[in-house]
Amino acid sequence: MTLRIGNASGFYGDRFDAVREMLTGGELDVLTGDYLAELTMLILGRDRLKDPGAGYARTFLRQMEECLGLAHERGVRIVTNAGGLNPSGLAEEIRQLAGRLGLPVRVAHVEGDDLTARHPGNLAAHAYLGGFGIATCLKEGADVVVTGRVTDAALVTGPAAAHFGWGPKDYDRLAGAVVAGHVLECGAQATGGNYAHFQEGDVRRPGFPLAEIHEDGTAVITKHPGTGGFVDIGTVTAQLLYETAGARYPGPDVTARLDTVGLTQDGPDRVRIDGVRGEAPPPTLKVGLNRLGGFRNEVTFVLTGLDIEAKAALVEQQMADAMAKSRPAQVTWDLVRTDRPDAPTEETASALLRLVVRDPDQETVGRTFSGAAVELALASYPGFHVLAPPGKGTPYGVFEDVYVPHSAVDHVAVLHDGHRIPVTPAHDILVLEEVPQPPLPEPLPVTEPTRRAPLGLVAGARSGDKGGNANIGVWVRTDEAWRWLAHTLTVDRLCELLPETAELRVTRHPLPNLRALNFVVEGILGEGVAAQHRFDPQAKALGEWLRSRHLDIPEALL
């Protein structure tokens, strides 16, 4: 029997109406919602500092006020990680809501991820749990399951394990569900959202995805009829590569082998996933640590017309002199040449000079820094103005991950009546090792004529963040294009095309089944997204920058 699992949220702040859309748009057995990201945990940690009863995604509670009755009426069970730092608090709020609405809804939650007490100095320290706590809650009759920090894919593996009776050693089945869960977790990114070839369909309002999961772990990714966007091998490939690394995709329940994934178009807006193999999970669980790193401030100077570089040099020297007595710990300048010669508008005649400062002391990047910038208003380069005056300085966060044994967490399913059921940690484990490089296809003949053109004319890409690292997944659609890409886009070539990566460690992972290369760029995001280390702090557009770069491409592929 097929289990239909839909997703209605890819992050805290996603489309509010998606819960109702998914519940009314077609048949579902389970509706999931993913609200957590590395940055979200920091935001919730700061919420909890102000209010110890906070720490969960408040929008989910408002969504339940509108749709809990609808889910109950349609027999759809709800599984969400919206509990964040306070899953018991959110579960209790939903119980009270169900009571007010007169709904006989059983609400359970999962505990054990919170390790903050063991990591002093951090706002939040949470282990990534697997899906068997969710499965226990569902098997014991829960209609709604609230979790804290579980892996995103656990929102799918838990319901699948409960429905089909999978055990901890059903690695291939679990791995199939992990892959399906990874495709669903970012919502509309699987249905044409943020997609390199977005012009191939109507993505003005893409629908949210669902997976039809079978007992053997195979799945079909699709969406409700009549919703926007589209589902094809490309959209699923893009999401499979998102925020991953090598062929082994580790998790607390299973390590999924991404190099075994098979994708087949199974009809309009239907992609079949099969062939996925799984291995025992690694011996440790990932723990995400979020702490305040200090304070930051920024100002963007607008430089218009002639002598852009001289104007930039003047204001840089003036700010350096003004900050000499209380120089911030980190000072970063970026000159963005958005100007063009003989421009028809003032905006297109202007360049942007961005100054970012960081320091443990708020005063240093606050009033002292802001005053120095503002005081230049009538005493600097001609045409002086800024995009916005600098403020008082805001706190920024730092993310890092550490690893602990499975036995270090007390994974517990807490049922609607308060009964607590411990979840047994994985017994069989397998130390992660790099998969040997797979054989590559024969390269195209060197005699083929080429033309200088953007990589994006033949390849798609998607990029994202994992702590301070970024990944760039690049894929092509034909075997001939794969023969070219596999031998052309080496680490050295990537570093040439993206000079920001040249001094960093870059690792290439070929995935021939997907006709894809996945690059991991270490350290490009500094101390993580909350530190806002670079212009694109989550590396969301790194892949699109790569696609815009020119290289010699065989004319036959163009």
N-term to C-term CA, the chain: 44
| 3-state SS, residue 107 | strand
For residue 535, pLDDT over 90 is answered with no
For 78-88, write each residue's pLDDT tens digit: 999 999 999 99
Closest CA to 529 of 543, 540, 542, 545: 540
Q: How far is 434 from 248, CA to CA, in rounded Å?
A: 8
pLDDT of residue 350: 98
| CA-to-CA separations, 394 to 298, 324, 355, 362, 532, in angstroms, rounded | 10, 21, 15, 8, 12
In terms of Cα–Cα distance, which of 205, 211, 270 is closest to 235? Answer: 270
Tell me how far apart the alpha carbons of residues 333 and 345 are, in angstroms, rounded to a whole number. Answer: 25
Within 8 A by CB and 6+ apart from 420, the residues are 412, 413, 414
Q: What is the pLDDT of residue 263?
A: 98
Give pLDDT tens digits for 421-463: 999 988 899 999 988 999 999 999 988 899 999 999 999 999 9
Q: Report the DSSP pairing between strands 284-304 and 255-257.
A: unpaired
Name residue, tokens 């919730």. Answer: 44
Q: Which residue has the tokens 């609400």?
A: 107
What pLDDT, on a 0 to 100 scale, did the predictor assign at position 530? 83
Point out which residues pair with 25 in neighbouring strands. none
Q: What is the 3-state secondary structure (H, E, C) of 381-399?
A: CCCCEECCCCCCCEEEEEE
| Average pLDDT value for residue range 46-71 | 96
Least Cα distance to 211 among 184, 240, 187, 174 occurs for: 184
Contact in structure between 212 and 313 (CB atoms under 8 Å): no
Listed as own residue / partner, the contacts of 446-452 with beta carbons closer than 8 Å and 24 or more positions apart are 448/554, 448/555, 448/556, 449/554, 449/555, 450/552, 450/553, 450/554, 450/555, 451/552, 451/553, 451/555, 451/558, 452/550, 452/551, 452/552, 452/553
- Give per-residue burial for 445-470: e unless 16+ CB within 10 Å, then b: eeeeebeeeebbebbbbbbbbbbbbb
Range scoring the smallest mean pLDDT among 271-275, 381-385, 444-448, 473-477: 444-448
Contacts of 252 (CB under 8 A, 6+ apart): 128, 129, 130, 151, 154, 281, 285, 406, 426
Report the sign of the C-alpha dihedral through residues 4, 225, 62, 211, in that order: positive
pLDDT of res. 531: 82
Q: What is the pLDDT of residue 104?
A: 97
C-alpha 179/C-alpha 11 separation (Å) is 18
pLDDT tens, position by position, 354-393:
999 999 999 999 999 999 999 999 999 999 999 999 989 9
Distance from C-alpha of 332 to C-alpha of 401, rounded to nearest angstrom: 26
What is the sign of the dihedral through the CA atoms of 449, 453, 458 and 464? positive
pLDDT tens track for 508-525:
999 999 999 999 999 999
How many percent of the chain have pLDDT more than 90? Answer: 95
Which 8-state DSSP code applies to residue 140?
A: T
Q: Across the chain, which distance is largest between two alpha carbons, in Å?
A: 74
Residue 171 near residue 211, CB atoms below 8 Å: no
Residue pair 365/532 in contact (Cβ under 8 Å)? The answer is: no
Q: Are strands 469-475 and 3-7 parallel, antiparallel or unpaired?
A: unpaired
DSSP state of 150: B
DSSP state of 228: B
pLDDT at 448: 87
| pTM, full prediction | 0.95
Select from 548, 523, 543, 541 the least CA-distant residue to 533. 523
Sheet holding 277-279, edge to edge: 248-249, 255-257, 277-279
How far, in Å, CA of 492 to CA of 499, rounded?
Answer: 10
pLDDT of residue 316: 98
CA distance 538 to 536: 6
* Mean per-residue pLDDT, 307-328: 96
Taking 3-state DSSP, the helix, strand and coil percentages for the chain, each rounded to the nearest 5, stand at 30, 25, 40
CA angle 434, 439, 445 (to 5 degrees): 140
pLDDT score recorded for residue 434:
87
pLDDT of residue 67: 98
Q: What is the pLDDT of residue 554?
A: 97
H-helix or E-strand spanning residue 256: strand 255-257
The reported pLDDT for the residue numbered 427 is 81
pLDDT, mean over the chain = 96
Q: Please give the C-alpha separations between residue 450 and each of 200, 209, 553, in angstroms, as whole numbers.
A: 26, 39, 5
Structural domains in the chain, sorted by start: 3-288+405-422 (no CATH), 292-398 (3.30.70), 450-557 (no CATH)
C-alpha–C-alpha distance, residues 174 and 218, integer Å: 10
What's the average model confidence in pLDDT over 205-216? 98
Query: Residue 387: what pLDDT?
Result: 96
